[in-house]
Structure 1
Amino acid sequence: MPEFPLAVPTCFEQVADDLAAKGWSVQHDVFSEELVAALGQACRQMWHNDALTPAGIGQGSDLAVVPEIRGDYTRWLDECSPRACQSEYLQILEQLRETLNRSLFLGLDSFETHFALYPPGAGYSKHLDRFQNNPLRMVSVVAYLNQNWQPGDGGELRLHLKEGLVDVVPTGGTLVVFLSDRILHEVLEAHKERASLVGWFRRRPLNPLLR
């Protein structure tokens, strides 16, 4: 019997409909409290054990750590010790990938994801998720791991949309999905430790040298 019995959320068809209609979707209470707690504990344990590293901006030789622009600390999930909660999360996201491919014919081939922790005072300036010279990232996914997040704790994800600004509170269990090349977004300053899993569905490269 697995530690976290797999429960596939029923909102993924709505996510696909939202992406087709407007390019983004926010769904609440997607993950069980037990899964959110276990993933959040894993992220914060790595943070307090200095196992997360400062995130950079740019790519390749242009990668640089600039805390004034991006202040989170990260670790790729495939670099972490195996945990049942991480396996369940990946299985759930695989169901989302299959739903998006079936509904939207996006050709999503793989998923990459990392833990991210913003310490108090950190944020991330406005940006797009797709690199200019690498078009493989198609769909961005953020899962929040913050139980008991309160008004005034900050750390909202701000989406810059044609119709105006939308702020998403990083409450545990909330899932945000958006098109990587279309939705400008930023992370507002957090006032306490803010944990999440951030990932991207990628399409298979036409050029095998492009990764």
Structure 2
Amino acid sequence: MTGIDTETLLDHLLEHNWVVLKKALPQDTLTALREEALALWQSGDFRSARVGRSGENLKSEIRNDRIHWLDEENLSDVQQRYLDFLNDIKDLLNRELFMGIASFEGHYAVYPEGSFYKAHLDRFQDADERVMSCILYLNKDWQHDFGGQLRLHLDEQMLDVEPEAGTIVLFYSDKVLHEVLPANQERLSLTGWFRRRSLRDLY
């Protein structure tokens, strides 16, 4: 895969349950995704993010970002380009780590100034479909003082990842507790999950 050291990706995931990738996507793809996210945001085509398996609970004390889900039946050209890239990662994970990934779901996320997301896991207790989380950041010229870092709660330490454009973070959805620190500037990302069929459906 262009722009990715696959051996490092796999080794780091196996040893640490997470990996950070830098500059894995072409600049024109990043720019187009950012422009699309901003256009959707400015048109009001986002909704308040919710918590819970069915997304039934609006709890602003836990998270207060806004999201726009990708529609796999109606992808834009740049969304399709990004999903083609993710399909290469999916094939790698299935081939080398036997993960059984079948699909990907994702959404644009905007964190307005002051927004955050408290520490959580991405896999719900009563659902096992999400196996690997994948976050792509779209923030050009991001500075540390802007806040909005992704904080990974690891066994040995906490790791803060700057949400800089082109940075991709992969981690096991059921193993890595994480949070989004309060953003002091508007913060953009494309967040998603590699999914498998539920094990309950196989028996």
Return the TM-score normalized by structure 1: 0.90
Offset of 1:79 from its aligned partner?
6.8
Comparing 184-193 and 64-73, the one that deviates more: 64-73
Match of 2:200 in 1: 207
> Contact conserved, 1:8 with 1:92, CA < 8 A, in 2?
no
Over the aligned positions, Cα root-mean-square deviation in angstroms equals 1.7
Residue among 3, 11, 19 paired with 2:5: 11
Partner SS state of residue 103, structure 1: helix
Equivalent residues in 2 for 1:53-72 (5 A)? 53-60=47-54, 63-72=56-65
Say whether the 8 Å CA contact 1:9–1:92 is kept in structure 2. no
Indicate conservation of the 8 Å contact 2:3/2:23, yes or no. Answer: no
1:29 matched residue in structure 2: 23
**Matched position secondary structure for 1:85:** helix
User: Residues 36 and 173 of structure 1 are in contact (CA less than 8 Å); yes or no, is this contact kept in structure 2?
Assistant: yes
Q: Does 1:158 pair with 2:138?
A: no
Please give the secondary structure, in 2, of the residue aligned with 1:9: coil
1:44 aligns with 2:53: no
Return the letter of the residue paired with 1:202: R
Q: In the alignment, what sits opposite 1:116?
A: 109
Residue type of the alignment partner of 1:158? R
Aligned counterparts of 2:25 and 2:89: Cα–Cα separation in 1: 13
Gaps of 5+ in 2: none
How many residue pairs align between the two structures? 202
Match for residue 102 of structure 1 among 95, 98, 105: 95
- Distance (Å, rounded) in 1 between the aligned partners of 2:52 and 2:179: 16
1:126-156 deviation per Cα after TM superposition (whole angstroms, max 9, x unaligned): 0000000001110000000111111211110
Letter in 2 for 1:56: R
- Distance across 2 between alignment mates of 1:185 and 1:205: 23
- For each residue in 1:73-130, what CA deviation from the matched residue of structure 2 results, as whole angstroms up to 9, or x when unmatched? 1111117963221111000000000011111111111111111110000010000000
Distance 1:126 1:80, change over 3 A: farther
TM-score of the two chains, using structure 2 as the length reference? 0.94
Q: Is the 8 A contact 1:8 1:95 kept in 2?
A: no
Superposition deviation, residue 11 in structure 1 = 2.6
CA spacing shift, 1:174–1:195, aligned 2, 3 Å: same
